Amino acid sequence: MSAHPTAQQPTPQAEGQVPDDAADRVQPGRRVRLAVDRPMRLDSGIEIGGFQIAYQTYGTLNADRSNAIMVCHALTGDHFVAETHPVTGKPGWWEMLVGPGKPVDTDRYFVICSNVLGGCLGSSGPKDTDPATGLPYGLSFPVVTIGDMVRAQKLLVEHLGIDKLFCVIGGSMGGMQVLQWAVAYPESVFAAVPIATAARHSAQNIAFHEVGRQAIMADPEWRGGSYLLEGTRPEAGLAVARMAAHITYLSEAALHRKFGRNLQDRKAITYGFDADFQVESYLRYQGAAFVERFDANSYLYITRAMDYFDLAADAGGSLANAFRPGGKTTPVRFCLASFSSDWLFPTSESRAIVHALNAVAANVSFVEIGTDKGHDAFLLDEPEFHQVIHGFLEGCAEHRGLSVRRRAR
Amino acid sequence: MSAHPTAQQPTPQAEGQVPDDAADRVQPGRRVRLAVDRPMRLDSGIEIGGFQIAYQTYGTLNADRSNAIMVCHALTGDHFVAETHPVTGKPGWWEMLVGPGKPVDTDRYFVICSNVLGGCLGSSGPKDTDPATGLPYGLSFPVVTIGDMVRAQKLLVEHLGIDKLFCVIGGSMGGMQVLQWAVAYPESVFAAVPIATAARHSAQNIAFHEVGRQAIMADPEWRGGSYLLEGTRPEAGLAVARMAAHITYLSEAALHRKFGRNLQDRKAITYGFDADFQVESYLRYQGAAFVERFDANSYLYITRAMDYFDLAADAGGSLANAFRPGGKTTPVRFCLASFSSDWLFPTSESRAIVHALNAVAANVSFVEIGTDKGHDAFLLDEPEFHQVIHGFLEGCAEHRGLSVRRRAR
């Protein structure tokens, strides 16, 4: 299951485990049904029970179950954090950061990552079959929030027998989940690392998401969300959505460095509408590759969850209040990181969170990493960023009393 | 024809004038057929003749024909610069800047603006009928460049009996045309005002254009460009293209100021995919309004022309060389303006032009206007910007020996 020689600890609790059936082979990895006995109430008020969460773990949970790190993935990510992806064959999306000897050291920590509720990579979402009708949910799947995603993760963590996470870490939408964990379950989180994220989705970001959703919904193959039922695929619309979003993940400087105005194989412009420029060909490839692995309705649901995210609104309009549950400063230790060329989640967004944490005298460190790689930098080779994560976790481990325990290699 | 009480001077030459037929009533305004006797060679090598250019003029051409200002419009602009638009009923797109007593003072200058070649608002473009086949051109219309647009404008200016323009002015794609005028016809331009523009389209801007084009081409109603022939309209794709582009015209700060996370009429989020946020509703409106007035194929053609624009490439790789025709410094006086929150054509792009002009010791002034309104600032109420234009034109008028001639009001 893992590309790394990490020991896989058996799940502490076995009830609710889904057998490795054919569906599992299509979407490999671990999975569990949660809220089977008692349904989970979503922010919308709708109750759902027996939903499936796909997850992976890396490393070994220690005897007092105090070394678990929850990794939260971004919009189109999944739970294959630190191993070759079983479907795409590509390296795990955060192998730079997570693995044996890496900043999030799986020789030392027990790492958990689950596909978000509403996703399409193993966890329950709009592409699944509604047991009530025997048909794909489509838009009848309930709209979920970042709060609901984290609620499901909390059930997973409890299912794994863990009362308190050593750390929750993630970038972009993953960072929103980190913030939500810290605010919703401050006693269940020792340390939190929200990266390249914001406490609320900005107007510009909502606007970009809306363009993507409109591109999907404009595709006649979308069929009002019922494309699975009707045997169509809104690939063109989803590809356009991905292309638009992809631009926002990079910086102008990175695009210039990577592509500039370089032409494709042809030496000269063609005076036509083929992909003359490399950047056009690259974008088209990104769009085409994405539709192979992602469900269009899930894209609608997850972007919507991000748009709805607003920690301050949920705390009576004050972000600082969100970090002072019951009038007491949050016990969670925070480390925030932003990237200088990230214009999707600019440093000012992280700073607003830091200011709110400072206002309640919380334990917080913050660094802006200088890079020209844009928002995607959190997924890339950024040594200073990796050092920051390593150092923060080392310090927290000491505070938490986690012994240095390296397995023989 | 004009909302302002400006005297309309009859066109000096009448040949090639198109009679005011039914088609003219659909697309009101002046129009002329150019290159009737001798075809015009496009950058692609294709020759076209007898194409139509729609234009408007404001103010009066003086006796020595030395007070003409060519206004160049942006991607989706038109020639109705300074009068109520006859189709939309909205004010002219640059009434802030152009009109009696305005910085571009139609009491003093003779202002010309033409719809670009390849456009859809009166000038020949892909939506017109190919006389050879009797069918709409669609993608068989030749691909045009900024150079070709300016070439056509030069023919129009000659048709109007003007040897040398007092000034060429425009923002965004209009600024590209201004630069092209100065480089291609340095002896025919006294002063040039390129605003919020660049000497070459950046990788990021090409990427955004490509998203828009892919959105249009992904619409099955586009029919490979033959939608006019087939009686369909790729409205959904064009609307998505416009929505994506529209975000780039504003700044994050402007979007935040205008909309923030404000909800629509509803007081609470709906947990659905309707436009909950005002910014979503605004974008949808922008998309829907745009398809009423713009042709999808023209959008492909004009974005392509911008992508292809690269002044330095045409001058052997050196932008400075572009401003040193025949080894002699350009005689054109330049005034550049950029806007601090414009991330589509950031100040660095203007600065690169200024550096090239400085390198050849050209006459250039440059100002970055501080504003949070983004790229669209060049169309908006920006008093400092308007003062800069006014002052520069005053100075140039003095150098040019234009007498102050105010008509009785």
Structural domains in chain A plus CATH codes? 22-201+305-400 (3.40.50.1820), 205-303 (1.10.1740.110)
pLDDT at residue A89 greater than cutoff 70? yes
Shortest CA distance from A244: residue in chain B: B211
pLDDT at A371: 97
Classify residue A301 by its DSSP letter.
Answer: H
| CB distance B129 to B123 below 8 Å | no
Give residue A13's pLDDT band: very low, low, confident or very high (50, 70, 90).
very low
In chain A, what residues touch B255 (CB-CB under 8 Å)?
202-204, 207
- Nearest residue, CB atoms, B259 vs list A203, A275, A300: A203
Question: What interface predicted TM-score (ipTM) does this complex get?
Answer: 0.91
User: Is A143–B280 a contact, with Cβ atoms under 8 angstroms apart?
Assistant: no
- Nearest residue, CB atoms, B247 vs list A207, A284, A313: A207
| Residues of B labelled as active-site residues | 172, 342, 375
User: Is B261–A200 a contact, with Cβ atoms under 8 angstroms apart?
Assistant: yes
Residue appearing with tokens 């303006």: B337
pLDDT tens-digit series, residues B248-289: 999 999 999 999 999 987 678 999 999 999 999 999 999 999
Rounded Cα–Cα distance for residues B333 and B193 (Å): 9
Give residue B219's pLDDT band: very low, low, confident or very high (50, 70, 90).
very high
Closest CA to A34 of A129, A118, A124: A124
Average pLDDT, chain A: 92
Dihedral sign, Cα of residue A248, residue A254, residue A260, residue A265? negative
Give residue A314's pLDDT band: very low, low, confident or very high (50, 70, 90).
confident
Rounded Cα–Cα distance for residues B362 and A239 (Å): 46
CB atoms within 10 A of CB A405: 10
In chain A, what residues touch B220 (CB-CB under 8 Å)?
220
| Residues of A labelled as active-site residues | 172, 342, 375
pLDDT at B266: 65
User: Is B284–A210 a contact, with Cβ atoms under 8 angstroms apart?
Assistant: yes
pLDDT at residue A329 greater than cutoff 50? yes
Rounded to 10°, the helix A173-184/A146-159 angle is 70
Rounded Cα–Cα distance for residues B306 and B297 (Å): 15
Rounded Cα–Cα distance for residues B394 and A100 (Å): 70
Contacts of residue A279, defined as CB under 8 A and 6 or more positions apart, other chains included, come to: A255, A258, A259, A262, B203, B206, B207, B210
Closest CA to B117 of B194, B31, B57: B31
Classify residue A366 by its DSSP letter.
Answer: E
- Least confident span in A85-89, A135-139, A229-233, B164-168: A85-89
Shortest CA distance from A221: residue in chain B: B220
pLDDT at B88: 86
Tell me the shortest Cα–Cα distance from B261 to chain A, in angstroms: 6
User: Is A214–B259 a contact, with Cβ atoms under 8 angstroms apart?
Assistant: no
- Nearest residue, CB atoms, A283 vs list B210, B237, B256: B210
User: Is A44–B203 a contact, with Cβ atoms under 8 angstroms apart?
Assistant: no
Give residue A74's pLDDT band: very low, low, confident or very high (50, 70, 90).
very high
- B147 phi and psi angles, rounded to 5 deg: -60, -40
| CB distance B81 to B92 below 8 Å | yes
| CB distance B245 to B282 below 8 Å | no
In percent, the amount of chain B with pLDDT more than 70 equals 91
pLDDT tens-digit series, residues A186-207: 999 999 999 999 999 999 999 9
Rounded Cα–Cα distance for residues A396 and B354 (Å): 52
| CB distance A55 to A80 below 8 Å | no
Contacts of residue B178, defined as CB under 8 A and 6 or more positions apart, other chains included, come to: B72, B168, B169, B170, B192, B193, B194, B195, B197
Rounded Cα–Cα distance for residues B116 and A331 (Å): 63
pLDDT tens-digit series, residues B39-80: 999 999 999 999 999 999 999 999 999 999 999 999 999 999
Rounded Cα–Cα distance for residues A183 and A189 (Å): 9
In chain B, what residues touch A260 (CB-CB under 8 Å)?
203
Residue appearing with tokens 């990493």: A369
User: Is A210–B280 a contact, with Cβ atoms under 8 angstroms apart?
Assistant: yes
pLDDT at residue A42 greater than cutoff 90? yes
Provide the token pair at A336: 């925030």
Q: How many residue contacts between A and B have a Cβ separation below 8 Å?
A: 152
Shortest CA distance from A272: residue in chain B: B143
Residues flagged as binding site of B for substrate: 242, 376
pLDDT tens-digit series, residues A232-287: 999 999 999 999 999 999 999 999 999 999 998 767 899 999 999 999 999 999 99
- A408 phi and psi angles, rounded to 5 deg: -65, 140
| CB distance A145 to A305 below 8 Å | yes
